[in-house]
């Protein structure tokens, strides 16, 4: 079985891109399964089911969804192996822009949209910088110039990635993505001992453990303070 | 080719002097290299505080790899003029029912206009996707696309900044909060053109020649009217887009001189494809593709009779535009008023 991780900021069109791509994959005889990681709520599993794709969902609740993902991806992989999928797609939302959901030697796709602003590529960390394929969506509603500028910005933060434009509504470009996903032999039987491409965002402070009160005396553990002095000089 | 060893020994300052376009790459980092711009990268990486690196999602090895990729790609991009496309050729595939397309080969030349007609869902998007992906028999239609009559390099698929098709459609909007001048500067810089000022002035001039109402360089792009936006998009695509093929999905008939718009694209040596059911636009084309059931059903040359009809239609259109202008100016309309 092949495993592919798809990530990207909320509402960038991850599910639409996956569904359109899955459609062409299924037509090419590929047996596909999906797992959706999210934080509080998702209806995306219904969308997958409607498309005839077996799906599992995992909600991280009050935990960092990235940490939740990496603690559960092995179990999900086992489920996929048991179901005999040819391809398992893991979809997760990049909620804090510092997400780092990619695993070494596992194909990584980042979905990002043209409407998110031209400085967005710089704001996003490993999720964009470490992806193998960057899919840019919503190109049908912005000007050609903005598309070109946005793609150039993505290129400057991740020069090695293949940058593709996909229309999540019409599916234009999805067939081409499916070709890239099938390329190469990336069979995985186990993720044990594999490594993340980059360390995940970290924190372990009293608020991680459920503290709700505000005040210096309640702050314990890994706490960091804003530097307002430096802020004044514009940096 | 820049070797990693040499890159590691160089300082950001020296690299910037050698490869000025690296300013875009350095600007994409959240780490500020300016403070240590005089030191070799190896030293900067070695001495970087682990916490700072982690906070900025910075990994030295990965950084050098990306720096090398970026330089090599840019050197290649700037070094050759392989973007010149004189023609595109489509070799036939099959329609949705698996029936082979009946044309032997279909050529789109630069400075020529081809219109594409067919109902929604007939396969126009698929045709465009085939061209964009420079299909090599590896898409559902089985079509093959040749560039300049030859099997094209895979760069057209994968190289950033080298896309075959630019698109213009009625649904497109400007979303950036910039003035016309700032916007064009941004686009020009991302394309790394040499004569920035000159091109920008030409674009504004050309856009104003297309738009019914003039605008100046200080206007925010989001407050341009529909016609002005379209005019700016077309002028910008004609002169500043790197893509040799322009696909137009209708051009609304208001606030913009459509004939001049097409002439502008043709004059900039673009291959123009235009999905339209507006007879004035469709008949301006040199040839017309009729799409049916996912396949190219027929290819016809615009006939002499159709060209004659075009001039009648254009006259009628001119009259309509005149009436529109008068209404806008607050005038009354009269039946016999004709010029």
**A13-58 pLDDT per residue, tens:** 999 999 999 999 999 999 999 999 998 889 999 999 999 999 999 9
- 3-state SS assignment for residue B110: coil
In the predicted model, is pLDDT for residue B186 greater than 90?
yes
- Which residues in chain A have Cβ-Cβ distances shorter than 8 Å to B184? 145
Which range among A177-186, B26-35, B281-290, B319-328 shows the weakest confidence by mean pLDDT?
Answer: B26-35
Q: Summarize the confidence of residues B17-32 as an average pLDDT.
A: 85
Burial label, A171 (beta-carbon count in 10 A; 0-12, 13-18, 19+): buried
In the predicted model, is pLDDT for residue A235 greater than 50?
no
What is the distance in angstroms between the Cα of B236 and the nearest Cα belonging to chain A?
7
Q: Summarize the confidence of residues B146-166 as an average pLDDT.
A: 86
Instruction: Give the residue range(s) of CATH 3.40.50.300 domains in chain B.
Output: 87-302
- Which residues in chain A have Cβ-Cβ distances shorter than 8 Å to B261? none
What is the distance in angstroms between the Cα of B270 and the nearest Cα belonging to chain A?
15
Measure the CA–CA gap between B134 and B153, rounded to whole angstroms.
Answer: 9
- Across the interface, of A24, A129, A159, the residue whose CB is closest to B73 is A159
If contacts are CB pairs under 8 Å, which of residues 150-189 in chain B contact chain A?
157-158, 160-161, 163, 166-169, 171-176, 183-184, 186-187
Burial label, B53 (beta-carbon count in 10 A; 0-12, 13-18, 19+): middle
**B84-103 residue pLDDT tens:** 889 999 999 999 999 999 99
H-assigned helices in chain B: 4-9, 12-18, 22-27, 41-47, 50-55, 60-79, 124-132, 155-158, 180-191, 196-210, 226-240, 258-267, 279-284, 304-328
Q: Summarize the confidence of residues A181-194 as an average pLDDT.
A: 88
Which range among A80-89, A132-141, A201-210, B14-23 shows the weakest confidence by mean pLDDT?
Answer: A201-210
**B300-309 residue pLDDT tens:** 999 999 999 9
**pLDDT at A231 (0 to 100):** 65
Place of tokens 């300049």: B148
**pLDDT at B339 (0 to 100):** 53
In the predicted model, is pLDDT for residue B73 greater than 90?
no
**A200-219 residue pLDDT tens:** 887 777 887 778 888 888 88
B50 vs B130 pLDDT, higher one: B130
Nearest CA in chain B to A140: B172
Q: Summarize the confidence of residues B289-298 as an average pLDDT.
A: 94
Report CA B293 to chain centroid distance, whole Å.
28
What is the distance in angstroms between the Cα of A4 and the nearest Cα belonging to chain B?
20
Within 13 Å, how many C-alpha atoms sit on residue B143's CB side? Answer: 31
Instruction: Give the residue range(s) of CATH 3.40.50.300 domains in chain A.
Output: 2-182
Q: Strand pairing of A107-113 and A87-93?
A: unpaired
Q: Summarize the confidence of residues B54-75 as an average pLDDT.
A: 85
* A13 token code pair: 């069109």
Burial label, B253 (beta-carbon count in 10 A; 0-12, 13-18, 19+): middle
Q: Summarize the confidence of residues A186-192 as an average pLDDT.
A: 89
Please state, for a pLDDT cut of 70, what percent of chain A lies above it.
Answer: 98
- Across the interface, of A125, A176, A235, the residue whose CB is closest to B133 is A176
- Confidence band for A84, pLDDT divided at 50, 70 and 90: very high
**Quick one: DSSP state of residue B331?**
P
CATH class of the region B87-302: alpha beta
A2-182 CATH, one of 3.20.20.70, 2.60.40.1080, 3.40.50.720, 3.40.50.300: 3.40.50.300
**B239-279 residue pLDDT tens:** 999 899 999 988 877 788 889 999 999 999 999 999 998 99
Cβ contact A141–B125 (<8 Å) = no
Cβ contact A148–B190 (<8 Å) = yes
Phi, psi of B123 (to 5 degrees): 125, 15
**B201-241 residue pLDDT tens:** 999 999 999 998 899 999 999 999 999 999 999 999 999 99
In the predicted model, is pLDDT for residue B160 greater than 80?
no
Mutate to test the interface with B, among A144, A151, A182 (most CBs of B within 10 A): A144
């Amino acid at each position: 079985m092949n495993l592919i991780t798809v990530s990207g900021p909320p509402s960038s069109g991850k599910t639409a891109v996956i569904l359109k791509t899955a459609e062409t994959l299924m037509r090419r005889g590929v047996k596909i399964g999906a797992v959706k990681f999210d934080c509080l709520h998702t209806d995306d599993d219904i969308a997958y089911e409607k498309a005839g794709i077996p799906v599992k969902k995992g909600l991280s609740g009050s935990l960092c969804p990235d940490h939740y993902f990496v603690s559960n991806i092995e179990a999900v992989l086992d489920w996929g192996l048991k179901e005999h999928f040819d391809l398992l797609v893991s979809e997760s939302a990049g909620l804090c822009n510092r997400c780092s959901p990619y695993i070494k030697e596992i194909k990584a796709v980042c979905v990002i949209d043209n409407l998110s602003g031209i400085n967005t590529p710089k704001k996003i960390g490993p999720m964009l910088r470490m992806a193998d394929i960057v899919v840019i969506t919503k190109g049908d509603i912005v000007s050609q110039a903005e598309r070109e500028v946005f793609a150039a910005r993505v290129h400057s933060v991740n020069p090695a990635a293949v940058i593709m434009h996909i229309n999540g509504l019409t599916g234009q470009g999805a067939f081409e993505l499916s070709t890239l996903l099938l390329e190469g032999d990336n069979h995985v039987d186990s993720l044990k001992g594999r490594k993340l491409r980059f360390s995940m965002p970290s924190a372990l402070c009293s608020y991680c453990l459920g503290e709700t009160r505000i005040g210096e005396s309640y702050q314990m553990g890994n706490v960091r303070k804003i530097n307002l002095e430096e802020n004044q000089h514009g940096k | 080719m820049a070797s990693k060893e040499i890159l590691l020994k160089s300082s950001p300052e020296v690299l910037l002097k050698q490869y000025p376009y690296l300013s875009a790459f350095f600007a994409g980092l959240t780490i500020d290299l300016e403070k240590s711009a005089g030191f070799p990268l190896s030293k900067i990486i070695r001495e970087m505080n682990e916490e700072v690196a982690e906070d900025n999602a910075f990994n030295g090895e990965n950084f050098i790899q990306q720096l090398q990729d970026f330089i090599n790609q840019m050197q290649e991009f700037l070094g050759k003029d392989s973007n010149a496309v004189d023609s595109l050729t489509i070799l036939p595939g099959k329609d949705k029912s698996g029936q082979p397309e009946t044309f032997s080969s279909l050529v789109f030349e630069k400075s020529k206009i081809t219109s594409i007609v067919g109902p929604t869902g007939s396969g126009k998007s698929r045709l465009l996707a085939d061209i964009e992906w420079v299909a090599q028999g590896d898409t559902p239609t089985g079509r093959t696309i040749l560039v300049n009559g030859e099997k094209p390099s895979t760069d057209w698929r994968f190289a950033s900044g080298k896309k075959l098709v630019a698109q213009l459609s009625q649904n497109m909007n400007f979303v950036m909060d910039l003035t016309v001048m700032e916007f064009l500067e941004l686009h020009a810089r991302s394309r790394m053109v040499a004569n920035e000022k000159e091109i920008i002035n030409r674009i504004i001039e050309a856009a104003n020649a297309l738009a019914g109402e003039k605008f100046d360089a200080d206007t925010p792009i989001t407050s341009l009217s529909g016609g002005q936006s379209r005019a700016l998009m077309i002028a910008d695509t004609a002169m500043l887009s790197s893509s040799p093929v322009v696909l137009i999905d209708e051009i609304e008939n208001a606030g913009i001189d459509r004939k001049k718009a097409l002439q502008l694209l043709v004059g900039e040596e673009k291959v123009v494809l235009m999905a339209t059911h507006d007879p004035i636009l469709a008949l301006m084309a040199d040839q017309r593709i009729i799409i049916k059931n996912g396949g190219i059903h027929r290819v016809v040359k615009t006939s002499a009779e159709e060209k004659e009809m075009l001039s009648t239609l254009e006259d009628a259109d001119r009259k309509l535009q005149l009436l529109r202008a008068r209404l806008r100016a607050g005038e009354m309309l009269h039946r016999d008023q004709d010029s």
